[in-house]
Amino acid sequence: MDELKKTSGHSGRLVFSVPYNPAAIKELKKIEGYEWNPVKKQWSLPDSGHVREKLKEIFAGFPLSEDLNNILNPNEQNNKKNTDSAFKELSAELSARKYSRKTINTYLYYNTGLLKNAGKAPENICQSDVTNYLQHLNEEKQASASTLNLVINALKFFYGKIHNKKFIYEIKRPKKDKKLPVILNSDEIARLLSALKNIKHRTLLMLAYSGGLRVSDVVKLKISDIDSERKLLHIKNAKGRKDRYTLLSDAALQNLREYWKIYKPETWLFPGADAKEHLTVRTAQRIFKNACKAAFISKDVSIHSLRHSFATHLLEAGTDIRYIQELLGHSSVKTTEIYTHVSNKDFSKIVNPLDRIMKK
């Protein structure tokens, strides 16, 4: 057959390529007016509703080439273009408001999840779609209340601030989980640090506990953030884009000096495999997990438990809760007050009734 000279979008023809499939090709040849271009390896068919339905029937259940998918699912392609455009706008707006890259990615992730769950384009989303998505995350993904609140924040920003959809403000927030943080006692902290033979790993966890740092804070520490004279750590651009100072203990400082003599880091205090990049959060989490295993600590804890333990131990030692709030970087003292529920400072003054009975 002569080489085709027609292209997609001209003379009412559909031009497309397909993966080699003898059965499909046999069916294509049954369609009246078909043509085959052996050079470009493309099929050409008359553009009609009947032909499009026949193509859907032939390729049902088979992966489609991009051009054939555009022909058979034009609405899907338009939705994708609209969604991509809307999400670029969302990303730009978040960036302009100085949201962190992590938050931007999180907002995009959950807004994408809503569209996948609903099977709709952004402009067609309604209140029931959001409710169903939250129910899906709660029941099938076992999302926590804090995660669901984060999802709601992401959806409210997109549909409320950008698309001006009023229904999004009627979405009810879930009740917060009333879980108390798991605390490591002083003996467990000592065992944990002693179990680490690698001085870099030990220094990392010592600084995390000594300053009550989030894992994202400790891995991003720079040499310039260490104030050895004042025994302070300068935490920059932390959660909420806030800077703060926190404590640097004598023991941590001594260990830090020994670590520096061996490794001599230049910019990042804890560089990763590539010295130009800092250690990853995942690596720090793995270091903590391995340390717990070596120290025979079976509590359900994470590296963030060092921050919880720091705050609780300060409270038990009589430190004013306002100082603890500043050290942790909490905006409200109400957030810090959770540690009053796990501290044994006041409980230790109570004489247990069983001990009273046994002494008789």
Model confidence pLDDT, tens digit, residues 7-35:
334 458 899 888 778 888 898 999 999 99
Question: Is residue 325 within 8 Å of 336, Cβ to Cβ?
Answer: yes
d(CA 223, CA 256): 11
Report which secondary-structure segment, H or E, holds 43.
Answer: strand 42-46
C-alpha to C-alpha distances, 147 to 144, 150, 152, 153, 180, nearest whole angstrom: 5, 5, 9, 10, 17
Checking if the pLDDT of 199 tops 90, the result is: yes
pLDDT at 234: 97
Q: Long-range pairs for 136-144 at CB < 8 Å and ≥24 separation?
A: 137/113, 138/174, 144/177
Q: Residues 60, 34: one domain?
A: yes
Report the C-alpha dihedral over residues 264, 265, 267, 273, rounded to 10 degrees.
150
Give how far Cα 37 sits from Cα of 16, 30, 222, 267, 314, Å.
10, 17, 62, 60, 78
Residue 318 sits in which domain range?
A: 186-341
Give mean pLDDT, residues 255-260. Answer: 96
Residue 135 lies in a domain: yes
- The larger pLDDT score, comparing residue 349 to residue 303, is at 303
**What is the mean predicted confidence (pLDDT) over 69-78?**
67
Structure tokens at 180: 């108390």
Task: Give the per-residue pLDDT at 355.
Answer: 77
In a domain, 354, yes or no: no
pTM exceeding the 0.75 threshold for the entire prediction: no
347 φ, ψ to 5°? Answer: -60, -30
Q: Which two tokens stand for residue 189?
A: 């902290």
Domain contains 359:
no
Question: Which pLDDT score is estimated for 76?
Answer: 59
Tell whether 8 is covered by a domain: no
Task: Indicate whether 330 and 209 sit together in one domain.
Answer: yes
205 within domain boundaries: yes
Do 80 and 146 share a domain, yes or no?
A: yes
Percent of the chain predicted with pLDDT > 70: 93
Across the chain, how many H-helices and E-strands are there? 16, 6
Q: Please report which confidence band the pLDDT of residue 218 belongs to, taking 50, 70 and 90 as the band edges.
A: very high
Q: What is the mean pLDDT of residues 327-344?
A: 90
pLDDT at 77 over 70: no
pLDDT for 227 equals 96
What is the distance between the alpha carbons of residues 212 and 207, in angstroms, rounded to a whole number?
8
Question: 205 and 336 share a domain?
Answer: yes
Whole-angstrom distance, CA of residue 21 vs CA of residue 37? 16
Q: Are residues 54 and 68 in the same domain?
A: yes
- Mean pLDDT value across residues 295-311: 96
Q: Looking at the structure, tell me whether residues 18 and 135 fall in a common domain.
A: no
Total domains in the fold of the chain = 3
In this structure, are 246 and 210 located in the same domain? yes
The pLDDT assigned to 294 comes to: 97
Residue 156 DSSP code: I
68 and 199 fall within a common domain? no
Q: Return the active site residues.
A: 214, 239, 304, 307, 330, 339
For residues 324 and 319, what is the distance between their CA atoms, to the nearest angstrom? 7
Are the C-beta atoms of residues 227 and 188 closer than 8 Å to each other?
Answer: no
pLDDT tens, 158-194? 999 988 999 999 999 998 777 889 999 999 999 999 9
> Do residues 156 and 277 share a domain?
no
For residue 351, tell me if it sits in a domain. no
End-to-end CA distance of the chain: 108
Q: Are residues 215 and 260 in the same domain?
A: yes
